[in-house]
A and B are shown apart, each in its own frame.
Chain A
């Protein structure tokens, strides 16, 4: 049965490979960074199992590993490796291979789609082929392997050269790849240490809630602000609902809960578009697309976010009190 854990082990192997290649090239700091990360990925299941059984030591060591990554990251210089191939050979190859090049690239979304749609029904001898949790992501991991295989066939290049190319791209992305995981951990720490409740207390004390419209505006702006700080609308929603949405807007001013919940959440999504805290949507793509400005993607979507926010608030104001 294919489980998401296999994908994590595959990532661990890729990270350790990247570390070892850097070690061989004499980039000690890069090597240490990727090796520590690879170890965290490889040991992840063990850490979670021990933690569930009440043993804190492996998770504490993982915490030390995270701090080690933080100390190593500033020593990583994002100097893109020179391309291994010249523009001329790439063009020649493009002319020779033509549309066949699209096939492996399209296999990534296609195989993922097929697993997402039909994975639940696939089984061998009565054993399901895919484990139910995270089936789409398991499909994505499988799709990447299939695509690498297909790419190596199409380009008539051995697969290990693909892994070497992948390592070059990963080095170009560098520590930015790590931010989403760190910010997820930070979100947990913020929740546990009471940052959320403290912000909610300040927000409810400061924001104007004298009449229904002001309270609605405070709710919508609070969703955006809180999402910008936490990087995630899901963290903002329960806090703003419990603070303003439920007691004031629904109970006192009679707002429609379905509309308020749905559109309130979408106000938070507008915040996600403009915050570096949502690194997986905003900073990682910037690194992946090799933009010099790490905030380039945020800049490109900021105006869209503002207009979508305004139209959602207007719609909400028109619909929610009817």
Chain B
């Protein structure tokens, strides 16, 4: 067993821990692991280039930027915030939990590309979330806003991850089934997908409780501020 390629993992861990620019860290790690793993430099370059262009789909989100940029310049975020401020029944927790449910259900039927950080979180969910939080605590500072946007992105991720495994025709289930078929165990995709349901429900409950707890924290800060003003 050749353990030397593991130095590439060490490069990643040290590079990320020291907060170096991640791009050269990742490329260095690839070169270290590849060369120590016995690949020749030409073969390594070819592998690097080929796998890079094979995953071009991962940059597809940049195509959303012109439309979103134009709409933001025309006041999309300001309008989303003003609208949220008028909707009295829609609290921060209800907004985020509603989005979580929708995102998870869409992923459950295989529609993961429909929503996402560029498609829905930046233009819609994040500004609406900020406005909903402002209804509780009017003077949010920059750190609060950033935490809120991070929570919106986290809610999007949790919804996607723990919905998609329930869908029978998506990567994860087919990978599991394929692995078992190779090793002589025959399972239907449905049998595998069904067992993702308990975790899907748990993930929904956990993220909902965390969102609700965050809202309660904001409410307590608002109450403390009010009592300070009175006292």
**Measured CA separation A71–B5 after assembly (Å):** 22
* Chain B residues touching A, majority SS: helix
Q: Which of B28, B53, B72 is within 8 Å of A47, CB to CB?
A: B53
Q: Tell whether, in the assembled complex, residue A237 and residue B50 are in contact, meaning their CB atoms are under 8 Å apart.
A: no
Q: Which of B120, B157, B192 is within 8 Å of A258, CB to CB?
A: B192
Q: Within the complex, what minimum Cβ distance (angstroms) separates A146 from chain B?
A: 9
How many of B's residues come within 8 Å of A, CB to CB?
117
Q: Tell whether, in the assembled complex, residue B63 and residue A144 are in contact, meaning their CB atoms are under 8 Å apart.
A: yes
Q: Which of B9, B29, B196 is within 8 Å of A262, CB to CB?
A: B196
Q: Tell whether, in the assembled complex, residue A14 and residue B66 are in contact, meaning their CB atoms are under 8 Å apart.
A: yes
Query: Does A217 lie at the interface of the complex (its beta carbon under 8 Å from any beta carbon of B)?
Result: no
Q: Which residues of B contact A62 (CB under 8 A)?
A: 48-50, 52-53
**Measured CA separation A269–B33 after assembly (Å):** 25
Would A193 and B8 be within 8 Å (CB), given that A105-B124, A148-B67, A181-B59 are in contact? Answer: yes
Would A193 and B34 be within 8 Å (CB), given that A69-B23, A288-B122 are in contact? Answer: yes
Q: Tell whether, in the assembled complex, residue B60 and residue A7 are in contact, meaning their CB atoms are under 8 Å apart.
A: yes
Query: Does A132 lie at the interface of the complex (its beta carbon under 8 Å from any beta carbon of B)?
Result: no
CB closest chain-B residue, reference A57: B46
Q: Which of A14, A167, A297 is within 8 Å of B150, CB to CB?
A: A297
Q: Tell whether, in the assembled complex, residue B157 and residue A184 are in contact, meaning their CB atoms are under 8 Å apart.
A: no
Q: Which of A90, A113, A286 is within 8 Å of B153, CB to CB?
A: A286
Instruction: Give per-residue flags for A46-76: 1 if the beta carbon is below 8 A from chain B beta carbons, else 0.
Output: 0110010000101111111111011101100
Query: Does A85 lie at the interface of the complex (its beta carbon under 8 Å from any beta carbon of B)?
Result: yes
Q: Tell whether, in the assembled complex, residue B48 and residue A91 are in contact, meaning their CB atoms are under 8 Å apart.
A: no
Q: Which residues of B contact A130 (CB under 8 A)?
A: none
Would A162 and B51 be within 8 Å (CB), given that A64-B45, A101-B75, A272-B161 are in contact? Answer: no
Q: Tell whether, in the assembled complex, residue B70 and residue A161 are in contact, meaning their CB atoms are under 8 Å apart.
A: yes
Closest 5 CB pairs of A and B: A193-B37, A165-B69, A62-B49, A94-B75, A63-B45
Further pairs besides A234-B172, A263-B199: 9, Cβ < 8 Å: A64-B45, A69-B27, A150-B67, A166-B62, A179-B22, A250-B185, A262-B173, A289-B121, A300-B150
Chain B positions within 8 Å of A, measured between CB atoms, are 1-3, 5-6, 8-9, 12, 16, 21-24, 26-30, 33-34, 36-39, 42-80, 82-83, 110-115, 117-124, 126, 146-147, 149-154, 156-158, 161-162, 165, 171-173, 175-176, 179-180, 183, 185, 187, 191-196, 198-199, 202-203, 206-207, 210
